[in-house]
């Protein structure tokens, strides 16, 4: 094998984000690996207050702050309890696969550290873990919804 062949192989490994490459020339053995990177993301407690625009916004005031979240123009619901918000922008999935049952539904008992959903961002699957023990009061997003950073996903009481 010549140096130019080795350089081309190195470039191919880099361009395709391979995690492992192996080559043996005697009786030609080739092994290529590309492993997916999976991140686990924990969200910090987020509390809601009413802004001048009438949308729920994050606040660091603690449990004593409860605001109002408007949905559309006429539907109003209280932002009480603990709200789990999106830690990043991406696509929300409520189950590990299209055939699987959702991780949680409204009314389900949850524990701290339990997976509530997955957000896909840049082809990475980020697990959303619950920061609270309690009951899922409301699931605020649907499967395959695009979510923004800080967007409320779940309300836990």
- pLDDT at residue number 6: 74
User: In whole angstroms, what is the distance from residue 3 CA to residue 128 CA?
Assistant: 46
Give domain 39-46+82-156's CATH architecture: Beta Barrel (2.40)
Contacts of 49 (CB under 8 A, 6+ apart): 56, 57, 59, 61, 65, 67, 79
> Is residue 64 very low, low, confident or very high in pLDDT (cuts 50, 70, 90)?
very low
Mark residue 88 as left, alpha or beta (left: phi above 0; alpha: psi -120 to 50; beta: remaining): beta
Q: What is the pLDDT of residues 109-150, one digit of tens each?
A: 999 999 999 999 998 999 999 998 999 999 999 999 999 998
Task: Spell out the domain ranges in the chain.
Answer: 3-33, 39-46+82-156
pLDDT at 13: 73
Kindly tell me if the per-residue pLDDT of 40 is higher than 70. no
Q: Whose CA is closest to 77, among 45, 53, 48?
A: 48
- pLDDT bin (cut points 50, 70, 90) of residue 7 is confident
């Amino acid at each position: 094998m010549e140096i130019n062949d080795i350089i081309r192989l190195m470039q191919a490994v880099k361009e395709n984000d391979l995690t492992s490459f192996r080559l043996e020339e005697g009786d030609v053995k080739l092994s290529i690996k590309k492993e997916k990177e999976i991140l686990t993301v924990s969200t910090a407690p987020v509390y809601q207050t009413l802004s001048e625009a009438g949308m729920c916004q994050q606040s660091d005031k603690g449990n004593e702050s409860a605001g109002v979240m408007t949905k559309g123009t006429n539907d109003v619901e209280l932002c009480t309890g603990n709200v789990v918000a999106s830690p990043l922008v991406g696509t929300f999935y409520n189950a590990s696969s299209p055939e699987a049952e959702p991780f949680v539904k409204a009314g389900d008992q949850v524990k701290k550290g339990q997976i509530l959903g997955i957000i896909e961002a840049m082809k990475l699957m980020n697990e959303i873990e619950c920061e609270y023990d309690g009951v899922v009061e409301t699931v605020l997003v649907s499967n395959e919804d695009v979510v923004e950073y800080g967007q409320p996903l779940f309300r836990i009481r």
